[in-house]
A and B are shown apart, each in its own frame.
Chain A
Amino acid sequence: MPNAFQPPLPEEKASQLARLAEGLDAPALQWISGYLAGLAAQLGGEPARPQAAAPAPAAEPRNRLTVLYGSQTGNAKRLAETLARRAEAAGLPVRLLRADAYPQRELKDERLLYLVISTQGDGDPPDDARGLVEFLASRRAPRLGALKYAVLGLGDSSYPQFCAVARRLDERLAELGGKPLFGRGEADLDLDSVARPWLEQALGQAREALARTGGATLATVTPLRAARPAWSREHPFAAEVLANQRITGRGSERHVRHLELSLEGSGLNYQPGDALGVWPRQAPALVEAVLAAFGLDGDTPVERDGERLPLATWLGERRELTRLTRPFLAAHAERSGAAELHAALAPEGRDRLARLLADWQLLDLARAHPAAWDAEALVAALRPLTPRLYSIASSPKAVGEEAHLTVADIDYRRDGEPRWGTASRYLVEREEGEAVPVFVEANERFRLPADPGRDIVMIGPGTGVAPFRAFVQERAAIGAGGRNWLLFGNPHFRTDFLYQLEWQQALKQGTLHRLDLAFSRDQAGKVYVQQRLRERGRELYDWLQQGAHLYVCGDAARMAPDVHAALRYVAAEHGGLDGAAAENWLGQLIQQGRYVRDVY
């Protein structure tokens, strides 16, 4: 930890200061220190003196709820925000912190802590929680004799390490002496069925715990968020489609489209790095096919969550049809009695289950293993439809009141029948003039450096290039002094070089300084961006040592780990850092917010 002493600041100010200083270089820090010294002189105060202990904060730890989250795609963040907002509304003193903004030295004094955290890939924490997870696992972790806590995990049960991070933290907090207030929640893709009761329980327990310590009447200490925009996830804005253009060339196996949506009059603001949430609808043909496969009538009224809608509307607008969940599969196994499904659900059937969940859609399941469902049961069992998040591919400084998206149309055939991704199909079929329900999902971790003089390295193969189009537009618009280095890859140069003309133009205009390309299928051996990283390792290491920020966007399953491995190699090869030291170096970059990922 950089802070060797306790600062004479309220905790929230200290944490704001930590966030302010994060990622800044020495000259910037010195400037700030001078600026603040100047302010202090104006106030007539004495030079700051280290103090042994903080003055009493507005709310003492024992009287306050801390909600921490670690989030990769924004779901954990959203749930944590909901919890904090409701606690606040209930008059409870609460502070909400992203895991990497949490001052770890305060942990030993925490009394009431709720932790909402997702698990990525093969049991990894989200990038913003790596530091906290490591700290807790380390020997430096304090005894937590006074702590009461609860953990909500988020994950995808088709992965073997389902909610593993939440489980490890839960166990570790107990090991350190913390007392679990109630059982850990493990939310699958159908978040709400687990998350909603967990949140209710968390609120009730917090009320009780804080009432006992007499803190419930204290004022709120942390402003949770700025005034909420008129449009939100729950109240999406109907954005008009201004353009919908395929941007992969003739003959490409990739169907990638560029969409331009109008935000005019919505008041919606976004920054480069943010995502646009899109509420899709199911393709009518798919709804028809599902109804036929289950032998159900789309007009059947179904009442649920206080709404009475025809089954076809539930399926078309409120339920997931293209993503299967383990619970649904289990229910379907019961109803169909299919031995194959039971085998896949058994502990030793893990690989089969993973394959099945990855390859099959609802329709495939219903056809392969017919089972009797009534309309009500089906609606209850299917996972509620969730909005899809797309990294915005534009900067408002370049495009005004528009948001551009780069959408890969997931389009394949199973047994001669088309199968689509819900949102991509929905978006690619929208014609100019139609409206799409959208909202802005901020992505605070994925931000351009506050200092425009910093260099940036952007690794964005495939549609992962989207936010970097926004970055380059933004940095061109503000005349940023730092250099921009993009690494892009896709199967073929001729057809799959997304935004080729724009990158060529940016190179010519000096708003893009380096462009390294990897077209995997244009030669005998496949070449990916991670290979380019290794080949350019010397320069990459130099850039990073000079303070560059590195961004990775795109495929989480293979690309992101391969890029990480390539970075470790670069650290070893050009920084002389062995395995642990290289990992440590990368960990520091993550801590400083200089190695951030938006992977999916």
Chain B
Amino acid sequence: MNHDKPLDPIEALKARSRLLRGSLAEGLADPVTASISEDDNKLLKFHGSYQQDDRDLRDERRRQKLEPAWQFMVRARLPGGVVTPAQWLAFDRLAREYANGTLRLTTRQTFQLHGVIKWRLKATIAAINAALADTLAACGDVNRNVVASANPVPTRAHEEVYAWAARLSEHLLPKTRAYHELWLDGEQVGGGEAESEPLYGATYLPRKFKIGIAVPPTNDVDVFAQDLGFVAILEGGRLAGFDVATGGGMGATQGDPSTYPRLGSVLGFVPPGRLLQVAEAVIALQRDRGDRSDRRHARLKYTIDRMGLAAFKAELEQRLGFALEPARPYAFAHNGDRYGWLESHDGRWHLTLQVEAGRLADTPGRSLLSGLRAIAQVHEGDFRLTCNQNLIVANVAPEQRAAIDALVAAHGLDGYRRHSGIRRHALACVALPTCGLAMAEAERYLPALLDKAEALLARHGLREAPILLRVSGCPNGCSRPYLGEIALVGRAPGRYDLRLGADFSGQRLNVPYRQNVDEAAILAELDALFARYAAEREDGEGFGDFLLRQDIVPAARGRTAETLEA
């Protein structure tokens, strides 16, 4: 860490916040504005929410002498994305009564509510807690929601992995009482002696921190996009332990080559009993060595690249007091979801549904939100949210399958049966109108883009070809665009960088192909490439792999997940 540079102002803000209190209570009570101060908004993130405004209305309201249409995004913490039917119904009710009538499934396996107004924020967060979930540390400079392979529980090992995800998430939670105090009418503790943050300290981490666990051969969590990724090593169907990958991360700043997406580096192997200890040590190392002067360089990936991977590993092992075992072999086949019904080892059934861009809403002709409410009312198992913004109706008894299928069909939730290969694998972040970072449309644009891409693909006989398309409204990477075989990264309204050449399993980054181009240019490029792919691909060859083999995109150094040799 560079000690010559002054700390980012947010470090002082965190330090004087009395463990994340700031003036949030006063700001929430201020009746003159539906917003809170920018400082409080930064602190609110640690509580799982932040302030947005409806950007569609921004200029109109300014002319009307009204403040922006302030509203809050509320994100739940759901380790491993597991939700009971009762919890589902609670979120569904909040979506309709307090939010904008929709539920958003995120790329980190959780729910987002959008459009919650300030006067309802407390009631919303309290209701989530009453449903035995919470929002603590869903955003902010802390360990975020821990994700885990959601693909339908085919083995006992998957259940164990889920349990580890939940334990990690709980273990790494902030200990401040501010959350309780602000949202749950907990008694005021006031940041006194009784309260401390033994792991994080008063200034928490330099930047966000993400943990994910993948169970090969499925890399649905994009384990190499995590700050700390664990690859479950199954031996004889049993969980032997985890390979540890560190330093993944998607975010980059436009026009700043010192920022970049990076895939995690595999450091070695740990048995399950040492998982929490390793996670804590990596976090402590990042807490002490991360860059607190420049938030653009504060993620763990930059800490590692600054220190050097070997030195990073050495310090980690020194902190641990033991050496990591050599990494064990694993193989990923894909990073998507497997749609439809699957049976697990215990004779129960799991139905994976595709949810376009993760948005559950009732729209003309399709009642996705109502449909899932109807399913939650009869379902006796649970739900699993996936990192691909999809949903599994899990743990269904064989005799209940027909009833679930009927509801799925009645509400238009059966798109997975009909959708083209590209639609089945598409991801998009929220972007406009609520995201303050978005420079271009993403979620709202995806349906139209898919229609046009499908038409091109159909012309080349590629309708069923599984191609990973990811659309992001900005370079920050919520939809993990740098791992798309085709990716659009927003630059300006209607203009994107076109990136190409990632693989199909989340182990190779794509590269920029055309910069700052409009839809017509993107479609023209894709049309030409689809033509070549249709004509010249090898059997079973993915689109990204094809582009690389044909030297259409270069194989740049450091773009694939590396393993540090012991």
Interface members, chain B 194-248 (any A CB < 8 Å): none
Tell whether B364 is near chain A: CB-to-CB under 8 Å: no
Task: Check A522 against B119 for contact (C-beta < 8 Å).
Answer: yes
**In the complex, which residue of chain B has the Cβ closest to the Cβ of A515?**
B32
Give Cα A498–Cα B34 distance, bound, in whole angstroms: 14
| Contact partners of B32 in chain A: CB under 8 A | 503-504, 507, 515, 517
Q: A493-B34, A507-B32 are in contact. Are A501 and B119 (CB under 8 A)?
A: no
Contact with B along A235-257 (1 / 0, CB 8 A): 00000000001111110000000
Task: Check A258 against B60 for contact (C-beta < 8 Å).
Answer: no
Tell whether A494 is near chain B: CB-to-CB under 8 Å: yes
A interface size (C-beta, 8 A) = 22
Tell whether B117 is near chain A: CB-to-CB under 8 Å: yes
Task: Check A517 against B31 for contact (C-beta < 8 Å).
Answer: yes
Task: Check A249 against B61 for contact (C-beta < 8 Å).
Answer: yes
**In the complex, which residue of chain A has the Cβ closest to the Cβ of B33?**
A504
Give Cα A261–Cα B533 distance, bound, in whole angstroms: 65
Tell whether B450 is near chain A: CB-to-CB under 8 Å: no
| Contact partners of A600 in chain B: CB under 8 A | none
Task: Check B34 against A248 for contact (C-beta < 8 Å).
Answer: no
| Contact partners of B67 in chain A: CB under 8 A | 500-501, 504
Tell whether B410 is near chain A: CB-to-CB under 8 Å: no
B425 shortest CB reach to chain A, Å: 36
**In the complex, which residue of chain A has the Cβ closest to the Cβ of B69?**
A494
| Contact partners of B60 in chain A: CB under 8 A | 249-250
A507 shortest CB reach to chain B, Å: 7
Q: A250-B57, A522-B119 are in contact. Are A494 and B64 (CB under 8 A)?
A: no
Tell whether A497 is near chain B: CB-to-CB under 8 Å: yes
Our pick among B34, B57, B66, B69 for the contact of A501 (Cβ within 8 Å) is: B66
Interface members, chain A 484-499 (any B CB < 8 Å): 493-495, 497-499
Our pick among B57, B62, B63, B66 for the contact of A497 (Cβ within 8 Å) is: B66
Tell whether A374 is near chain B: CB-to-CB under 8 Å: no
| Contact partners of B66 in chain A: CB under 8 A | 247, 249, 495, 497, 500-501
Question: Count the A-B residue pairs with Cβ separation under 8 angstroms: how many?
Answer: 43
B362 shortest CB reach to chain A, Å: 19
Contact with A along B57-98 (1 / 0, CB 8 A): 100111111110100000000000000000000000000000
B201 shortest CB reach to chain A, Å: 35
Give Cα A502–Cα B67 distance, bound, in whole angstroms: 10
**In the complex, which residue of chain B has the Cβ closest to the Cβ of A258?**
B65
| Contact partners of B65 in chain A: CB under 8 A | 245, 247, 258, 498-502
Interface bracket on B: 10 to 19
| Contact partners of B33 in chain A: CB under 8 A | 504
Task: Check A248 against B64 for contact (C-beta < 8 Å).
Answer: yes
| Contact partners of B64 in chain A: CB under 8 A | 245-249
Main secondary structure on chain B at its contact with chain A?
A: loop
B326 shortest CB reach to chain A, Å: 60
Main secondary structure on chain A at its contact with chain B?
A: mixed
| Contact partners of B61 in chain A: CB under 8 A | 249
Contact with A along B113-124 (1 / 0, CB 8 A): 000010100000
**In the complex, which residue of chain A has the Cβ closest to the Cβ of B31?**
A517
| Contact partners of A502 in chain B: CB under 8 A | 65
Query: Which of A247, A250, A503 has the largest count of B CB atoms less than 10 A from its CB?
Result: A250
| Contact partners of B63 in chain A: CB under 8 A | 245
Give Cα A142–Cα B158 distance, bound, in whole angstroms: 101
A484 shortest CB reach to chain B, Å: 14
Give Cα A522–Cα B119 distance, bound, in whole angstroms: 10
| Contact partners of A258 in chain B: CB under 8 A | 65
Give Cα A232–Cα B67 distance, bound, in whole angstroms: 38
A54 shortest CB reach to chain B, Å: 55
**In the complex, which residue of chain A has the Cβ closest to the Cβ of B63?**
A245
Query: Which of A245, A248, A500 has the largest count of B CB atoms less than 10 A from its CB?
Result: A500
B35 shortest CB reach to chain A, Å: 10
**In the complex, which residue of chain B has the Cβ closest to the Cβ of A257?**
B64
Query: Which of A247, A498, A501, A522 has the largest count of B CB atoms less than 10 A from its CB?
Result: A501
Interface members, chain B 131-146 (any A CB < 8 Å): none
Give Cα A502–Cα B62 distance, bound, in whole angstroms: 11
| Contact partners of A501 in chain B: CB under 8 A | 62, 65-67
Give Cα A502–Cα B65 distance, bound, in whole angstroms: 7
Interface members, chain B 290-334 (any A CB < 8 Å): none
Give Cα A501–Cα B65 distance, bound, in whole angstroms: 5
| Contact partners of B117 in chain A: CB under 8 A | 494
A532 shortest CB reach to chain B, Å: 10
Give Cα A362–Cα B278 distance, bound, in whole angstroms: 83
Query: Which of A245, A246, A247, A249 has the largest count of B CB atoms less than 10 A from its CB?
Result: A249
B114 shortest CB reach to chain A, Å: 15
Give Cα A517–Cα B34 distance, bound, in whole angstroms: 13
| Contact partners of B62 in chain A: CB under 8 A | 501
Give Cα A258–Cα B57 distance, bound, in whole angstroms: 19
Interface members, chain B 14-36 (any A CB < 8 Å): 31-34
Give Cα A248–Cα B60 distance, bound, in whole angstroms: 10
A257 shortest CB reach to chain B, Å: 10
Query: Which of B32, B60, B62 has the largest count of A CB atoms less than 10 A from its CB?
Result: B32
| Contact partners of A499 in chain B: CB under 8 A | 65
**In the complex, which residue of chain B has the Cβ closest to the Cβ of A522?**
B119
Contact with A along B423-444 (1 / 0, CB 8 A): 0000000000000000000000
**In the complex, which residue of chain B has the Cβ closest to the Cβ of A498?**
B65
A242 shortest CB reach to chain B, Å: 14
| Contact partners of A248 in chain B: CB under 8 A | 64
A533 shortest CB reach to chain B, Å: 15
Contact with A along B470-505 (1 / 0, CB 8 A): 000000000000000000000000000000000000
| Contact partners of A498 in chain B: CB under 8 A | 65
Give Cα A493–Cα B64 distance, bound, in whole angstroms: 13
Query: Which of A495, A497, A499 has the largest count of B CB atoms less than 10 A from its CB?
Result: A497
Give Cα A250–Cα B57 distance, bound, in whole angstroms: 9
Give Cα A258–Cα B63 distance, bound, in whole angstroms: 10
Contact with A along B246-278 (1 / 0, CB 8 A): 000000000000000000000000000000000
Give Cα A502–Cα B63 distance, bound, in whole angstroms: 12
**In the complex, which residue of chain B has the Cβ closest to the Cβ of A502?**
B65
Give Cα A495–Cα B60 distance, bound, in whole angstroms: 12
| Contact partners of A494 in chain B: CB under 8 A | 34, 69, 117
A406 shortest CB reach to chain B, Å: 11
| Contact partners of A249 in chain B: CB under 8 A | 57, 60-61, 64, 66, 69
**In the complex, which residue of chain A has the Cβ closest to the Cβ of B117?**
A494
Give Cα A497–Cα B117 distance, bound, in whole angstroms: 15
A416 shortest CB reach to chain B, Å: 26
Give Cα A246–Cα B63 distance, bound, in whole angstroms: 8
Give Cα A504–Cα B60 distance, bound, in whole angstroms: 18
**In the complex, which residue of chain A has the Cβ closest to the Cβ of B64?**
A247
Contact with B along A401-432 (1 / 0, CB 8 A): 00000000000000000000000000000000
| Contact partners of B69 in chain A: CB under 8 A | 249, 494
A255 shortest CB reach to chain B, Å: 12
Interface members, chain A 465-511 (any B CB < 8 Å): 493-495, 497-504, 507
Give Cα A61–Cα B375 distance, bound, in whole angstroms: 92
| Contact partners of B34 in chain A: CB under 8 A | 493-494
A7 shortest CB reach to chain B, Å: 49
A490 shortest CB reach to chain B, Å: 12
Beyond A245-B65, A249-B57, A503-B32, 15 additional contacts (C-beta under 8 Å) are A245-B63, A247-B65, A249-B61, A249-B69, A250-B57, A258-B65, A495-B66, A499-B65, A500-B65, A501-B65, A502-B65, A504-B32, A504-B67, A507-B32, A517-B31
A-B contact pairs, 25 of them (CB 8 A): A245-B63, A245-B65, A247-B64, A247-B65, A249-B57, A249-B64, A249-B66, A249-B69, A493-B119, A494-B34, A494-B69, A494-B117, A497-B66, A498-B65, A499-B65, A500-B65, A500-B67, A501-B62, A501-B65, A501-B67, A502-B65, A504-B32, A504-B67, A517-B31, A522-B119
The 8 A-B residue pairs with the shortest CB-CB distance in the complex, in nearest-first order: A247-B64, A501-B65, A500-B66, A499-B65, A247-B65, A517-B31, A249-B66, A500-B67
Chain A residues within CB distance 8 Å of chain B:
245-250, 258, 493-495, 497-504, 507, 515, 517, 522
